[in-house]
Structure formats: structure tokens, C-alpha cells
């Protein structure tokens, strides 16, 4: 008996208050690592009407102007008109309240437990995890980028919203926005689009259209033709006549951004990852240097899961790692293919342990995480701070590489032969 169900994921645009904070936090991280790759950074940002507060803990030899960095990023996002947005790069107040990283934490990161207690001289035992915690990574074969379809579509629509706004194609749009896509599944495979929801900030009037209902009708028609339909051009699953399309369901979205709602770094962790399709360890990414395993271990988990699926050893795969603060080696490693694996999950676990470096120093080396901003002209982490950290076909992200596919296939061949695959 077939099982039919609906699954929904959401995304937000770069002008959403929480995403403004994520991007400022990661702009600060980029600037610090570009000058000092060994910077220890935990940058948090709060925004509200006319206010930006930069706080957290930073230890670095870099010299940066935090106020200037924040204003530049806000302007890049599109908040340059205080009259219509209530928030502007030039007029907002930027407050800075930063401390240095705790020495109690620093000593465990600078020299891992293994190096201190066991006198280990292994290269990757030099750095301990910057915090305790658990991280997940996921991949599935629903899309070419090996991401769940609902979050992939939600991000596509959000990016397209920003594109038509910045190009002037739909000049009445403003930076704040949210998208949501509900996908119909049968027996675990996507078969249709049930609902598409777009809430986007806009001007009070559009040209000579001044009536509220007429404004919303114009926005809905434009979004369907210039935002939604282009997103589905290369996909086999498309909207149908039965697909619901909801736009600004309250009837108006003029007041937005930090004027409409406060924002905070790290409050969109599900948007940043898999849209709720996979489990989440709870740790945010933005503003954290790569010694923080909330970030770097989540990246390696995605890398492992994606290579397993790309190697066609499973249709979907979730990987969990956990760490103790100051300890290099993971406390636990877990692999789950939800019954789709061609070989046992226990065998896949052995393959992961034998073919992937999971200690923080090794992860940083694998992806060159401390030097990426300087290698890319001071911009890297801020680019993933909006529209998701995974499955990005518009960015060259090291954890999205599938360079372990042949290694995994070769290592799995004896087992596959034994089970008759």
C-alpha cells in the first residue's frame, strides 16, 4: 500500500532580520580570518529599528573596523533608504560590545586533550574541539545537488526574489522576505508541489497602482511569472493546476526588515541546513571560526553523507558526530541510511572512520577553512550566511565536493560483491 504525505521547508531572503545578523557576523569572521587565520571568533549580532549591536568573544591579531563592516554589509543587502525601510546602513546606530575568548576554553583548543594527556604527536591531535555538542549532516538523491527537494526549492525561490529585486526587474520589492514550499511525496519520492508561499516586502504602491488589493494582485502575478516559474525550469517535478500559490497572506507587507521585527544571529539554523528534513544538533554556524565544531563538524558531516549518496551506496544518508570540548577525536560517530543502504550501516561506519578525518584540525585542513577568506578576496563565510550552507550550486564549497566517491566505491566493492550487488 503506497503512502502519500506532505513535507514543508522554508527559506528567508538576505534582508530578513535574522539573516542580516548572520551575514554581519560572517562578514566580521571573513575580515578577521583574512588578516589572521588563527583568529578565534564567536561574533553575535542583534538588529532592531535603527540599531545594530555587535557582541560576543573575539581573540585576534587582526585590526578591523566593526562599524564599517556592518554598514557596508547592510548596504549590500539593500537597506539604504531610511524613509521607506526604517533601517538604513548610513543612519542606523552600530554598538560594539566584544570580549576576548575565555582562557579556559582557549587552552583546550590550543592543545587538545590527546596531546596533553597522552603526549600524542599526531598532526590532527593539535587542536581540541571548541565546544561540546552534536552535529548532523545529510544527503539524499531527490535533487542533482543531493538535497531534499523542499528546502532546495525554498532557497531557489528566495534567491530569485533577491535577483529580480537587485536587477530592477521588480523594483518595487524590498529586501525582507520568506518563502515556503510544500512537496507531495509517495513512498518517499517527491511527486508534486502542493503549496508555494511567498511573503515579500514591497513598496506601498506600484507605479499608479494604489489600491491594496490591486497591489497584491500585481505582486502575485509578477512573482509567479518572474520568480516561481524560472525556478522550476530544469526540474521534473513542477507546479500543477492544483498547486496553491499564496502571496503576502496578511494582505500587505510594507513594514519589514529590522523595523518590523528584531533579528539575532543563529536563529535560522533549520533554514541554514536541511529545512527540517534531517535532524539538527542545535548549534548555529554564523560568526564562528572553524575551531567551533558546531560549524566545521557539520560541514564534514555533510561531506561524508553526500559522498556516500553520490557513490550510490545509499539513497539517503545521515551522519552524526559528537565532541567534548578540548578533545580532538569525536566522542561518537553514527551513520543511518534509513534502510536505503546497499551495504549495512555498520560497514559504512567503518568506511567513514577509515576514509575521513574527523578531528577539528583535520577538518580545517581538509577544507582549508582558516584560509578561505584570504584566498577569496576577503569573502567566503558571508556568502553562505544566506540561502543555505549546503547544496549550493552557485558557490564552490569544499564540503560539497564528491571527491571521495571512487575511494568509497573501491572500499565497498568486496562487501557489495558479497551481498550480490
Cβ atoms < 10 Å from Cβ of 106: 18
Q: Give the pTM.
A: 0.95
Does residue 129 lie in a domain region?
A: no
pLDDT at residue 131 in the model: 87
Residue partners of 301: CB distance under 8 A and separation at least 6: 135, 136, 137, 138, 319, 320, 321
- Please report, in angstroms and rounded to a whole number, the separation of the first and last CA atoms in the chain: 26
pLDDT at residue 325 in the model: 92
pLDDT at residue 415 in the model: 79
Does residue 383 lie in a domain region?
A: no
Q: Please report where in the chains the cell 555587535 appears, as a residue.
A: 54
pLDDT at residue 251 in the model: 94
pLDDT at residue 106 in the model: 65
Does residue 222 lie in a domain region?
A: yes
Does residue 236 lie in a domain region?
A: yes
pLDDT at residue 81 in the model: 85
Does residue 125 lie in a domain region?
A: no
SS3 255: coil
Tell me the CATH number at 173.
3.30.300.10
pLDDT at residue 101 in the model: 80
* Host domain of residue 208: 4-12+148-256
Does residue 23 lie in a domain region?
A: no
Does residue 307 lie in a domain region?
A: no
Cβ atoms < 10 Å from Cβ of 100: 11
Taking the C-alpha atoms of residue 236 and residue 143, their distance in angstroms, rounded to an integer, is: 10
Taking the C-alpha atoms of residue 23 and residue 31, their distance in angstroms, rounded to an integer, is: 12
pLDDT in tens, the chain (421 residues): 579 999 999 999 999 999 999 999 999 999 999 999 999 999 999 999 999 999 999 999 999 999 999 999 999 999 998 777 778 999 999 999 999 987 766 676 766 666 666 655 667 778 888 889 999 999 999 999 999 999 999 999 999 999 999 999 999 999 999 999 999 999 999 999 999 999 999 999 999 999 989 999 999 999 999 999 999 988 899 999 999 999 999 999 999 999 999 999 999 999 999 999 999 999 999 999 999 999 999 999 999 999 999 999 999 999 999 999 999 999 999 999 999 999 999 999 999 999 999 999 999 999 999 999 999 999 999 999 999 999 999 999 999 999 999 999 999 987 777 665 5
How many structural domains is the chain composed of? 1
Considering only CA atoms, give the Rg of the chain. 23
Cβ atoms < 10 Å from Cβ of 261: 15
Does residue 195 lie in a domain region?
A: yes
pLDDT at residue 233 in the model: 87
Bridge partners, residue 51, by sequence: 48, 93
Taking the C-alpha atoms of residue 58 and residue 40, their distance in angstroms, rounded to an integer, is: 6
Taking the C-alpha atoms of residue 329 and residue 357, their distance in angstroms, rounded to an integer, is: 9
Amino acid at each position: 500500500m503506497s503512502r502519500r504525505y506532505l513535507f514543508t521547508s522554508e527559506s528567508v531572503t538576505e534582508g530578513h532580520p535574522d539573516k542580516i545578523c548572520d551575514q554581519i557576523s560572517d562578514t566580521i569572521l571573513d575580515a578577521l580570518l583574512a588578516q589572521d587565520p588563527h583568529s578565534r571568533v564567536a561574533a553575535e549580532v542583534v538588529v532592531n529599528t535603527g540599531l545594530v549591536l555587535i557582541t560576543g568573544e573575539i581573540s585576534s591579531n587582526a585590526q578591523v573596523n566593526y562599524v564599517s563592516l556592518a554598514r557596508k554589509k547592510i548596504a549590500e543587502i539593500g537597506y539604504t533608504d531610511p524613509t521607506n525601510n526604517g533601517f538604513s546602513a548610513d543612519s542606523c546606530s552600530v554598538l560594539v560590545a566584544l570580549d576576548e575568548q575565555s582562557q579556559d576554553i582557549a587552552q583546550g583548543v590550543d592543545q587538545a586533550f590527546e596531546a596533553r594527556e597522552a603526549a600524542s604527536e599526531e598532526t590532527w591531535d593539535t587542536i581540541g574541539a571548541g565546544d561540546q555538542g552534536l552535529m548532523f549532516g545529510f544527503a539524499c538523491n531527490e535533487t542533482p545537488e543531493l538535497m531534499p527537494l523542499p528546502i532546495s526549492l525554498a532557497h531557489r525561490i528566495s534567491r530569485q526574489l533577491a535577483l529580480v529585486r537587485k536587477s530592477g526587474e521588480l523594483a518595487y520589492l524590498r529586501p525582507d522576505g520568506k518563502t515556503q514550499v510544500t512537496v507531495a511525496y509517495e513512498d518517499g519520492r517527491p511527486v508534486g508541489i502542493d503549496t508555494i508561499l511567498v511573503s515579500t516586502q514591497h513598496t506601498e504602491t506600484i507605479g499608479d497602482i494604489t489600491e491594496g488589493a490591486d497591489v497584491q494582485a500585481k505582486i502575485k502575478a509578477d512573482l509567479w511569472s518572474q520568480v516561481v516559474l524560472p525556478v522550476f525550469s530544469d526540474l521534473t517535478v513542477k507546479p500543477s493546476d492544483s498547486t496553491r500559490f499564496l502571496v503576502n497572506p496578511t494582505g500587505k507587507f510594507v513594514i519589514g526588515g529590522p523595523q518590523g521585527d528584531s533579528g539575532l544571529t543563529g536563529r535560522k539554523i533549520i533554514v541554514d541546513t536541511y529545512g527540517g528534513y534531517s535532524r539538527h544538533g542545535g548549534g548555529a554556524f554564523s560568526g564562528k571560526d572553524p575551531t567551533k565544531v558546531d560549524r566545521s563538524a557539520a560541514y564534514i558531516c555533510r561531506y561524508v553523507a553526500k559522498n556516500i549518496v553520490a557513490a550510490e551506496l545509499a539513497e539517503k544518508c545521515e551522519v552524526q558526530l559528537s565532541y567534548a570540548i578540548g578533545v580532538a577525536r569525536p566522542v561518537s560517530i553514527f551513520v543511518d541510511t534509513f534502510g536505503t543502504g546497499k551495504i549495512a550501516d555498520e560497514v559504512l561506519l567503518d568506511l567513514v572512520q577509515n576514509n575521513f578525518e574527523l578531528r577539528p584540525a583535520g577538518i580545517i585542513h581538509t577544507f582549508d577553512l582558516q584560509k578561505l577568506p584570504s584566498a577569496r578576496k576577503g569573502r567566503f563565510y558571508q556568502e553562505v550566511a544566506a540561502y543555505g550552507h549546503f547544496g549550493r550550486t552557485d558557490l564552490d564549497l569544499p564540503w560539497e565536493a564528491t571527491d571521495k566517491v571512487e575511494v568509497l566505491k573501491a572500499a565497498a566493492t568486496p562487501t557489495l560483491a558479497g551481498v550480490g550487488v
